[in-house]
Amino acid sequence: MESLAEVRAEALACTRCGLAGGRTQVVFGVGNPGADLLLVGEGPGREEDLRGEPFVGRSGKLLDTLLHQELGIDRTSCYIANVVKCRPPGNRDPRPDEIDACRPYLDAQVRLIAPRVVVTLGNFAARTLLGTTDGIRRLRGAAYPFGTAHLVPTYHPAAALRGGAEVVAEMRADLVRAKALLIGRRSELPAGGGVLAAAARRDEQVPDGTAARGPAGQRR
């Protein structure tokens, strides 16, 4: 089986779609390849394209803050990727053909990282991984089965920056839901299984009541 490093090396030279022509570099993903938690956003913006890392700049700072405050982790304890690995020009939405072309890389990341929980950030990641046309406002507030994992949709941090306190509060609630899923499965976590697993075992106070409802998300 291919390793994540091999898939990354393949992606770094990819010209499968037109986004290759406008990129500074491919933004494959960052973090712990054995993480319990995988976060999936939409695509690189200008700063991400320049730095080669997802979620830098203001959106990234908000995401880092929420990960720290709600999950007690930093980005080295999870893995962060995007639906498309190259920047759409002018930060436009990725097109369906571009999402389809890039999908094998995301599927490989899901398969090889094998997270316990996937948190999607924004419309594109939720729709792509759940195979639905529903929007994030309709999808969020629940957890969905996703292969052997769970998928928790939430807003893109850029939307939370625009939307203000109410949207940020909903994002926090979604991250608490993700943490509760990890805690609920703590008996399955390997001994010493990473910072997130340790944090999950420690925390006895996370609210229960995480909803689980269909449709079932398929890994691929």
To ligand SF4, the closest distance from the beta carbon of 124 in angstroms equals: 12
Q: Which residues, in sequence order, are CB contacts of 152 under 8 Å at separation 6+? A: 117, 118, 119, 120, 143, 144, 174, 175, 177, 178, 181
CB of 12 to ligand SF4, least distance (A): 8
Of 11-19, 45-53, 143-151, 206-214, the segment contacting ligand SF4 by CB under 6 A is 11-19
**CB of 201 vs ligand SF4, minimal distance in Å:** 37
Distance CA 195, CA 2 (A): 26
- Strand order through the sheet with 144-146: 30-31, 79-82, 37-41, 117-121, 149-154, 144-146
CA distance 34 to 115: 8
Among 2, 3, 6, 15, contact with ligand SF4 (rule: CB under 6 A): 15
Considering only 13-21, 109-117, 158-166, 178-186, which stretch makes contact with ligand SF4 by CB under 6 A?
Answer: 13-21
Query: Mind giving me the DSSP string for 39-50?
Result: EEES---HHHHH
Indicate whether 26 belongs to the interface with ligand SF4 (CB under 6 A): yes
The single-letter code of the amino acid at 47 is E
Q: Give the residue among 218, 219, 185 at the shortest CA–CA distance from 201.
A: 185
Contact between 37 and ligand SF4 by CB under 6 A: the answer reads no
Minimum CB separation of residue 98 from ligand SF4 in Å reads 6
Q: How many residues bind ligand SF4 (CB under 6 A)?
A: 14
Phi, psi of 117 (to 5 degrees): -135, 135
> What pairing do the DSSP bridges indicate for beta strands 144-146 and 149-154?
antiparallel
Report helix, strand or coil for 131: coil
> Closer CB to ligand SF4, residue 27 or residue 171?
27
Report if residue 17 touches ligand SF4, rule: CB under 6 A.
Answer: yes
Judged by CB, which is closer to ligand SF4: 70, or 98? 98
87-116 residues near ligand SF4, rule: CB under 6 A: 98, 101-102
> Judged by CB under 6 A, does residue 20 bind ligand SF4?
yes
Chain residues in the site for ligand SF4 (CB under 6 A): 11, 14-17, 19-20, 26, 84-86, 98, 101-102
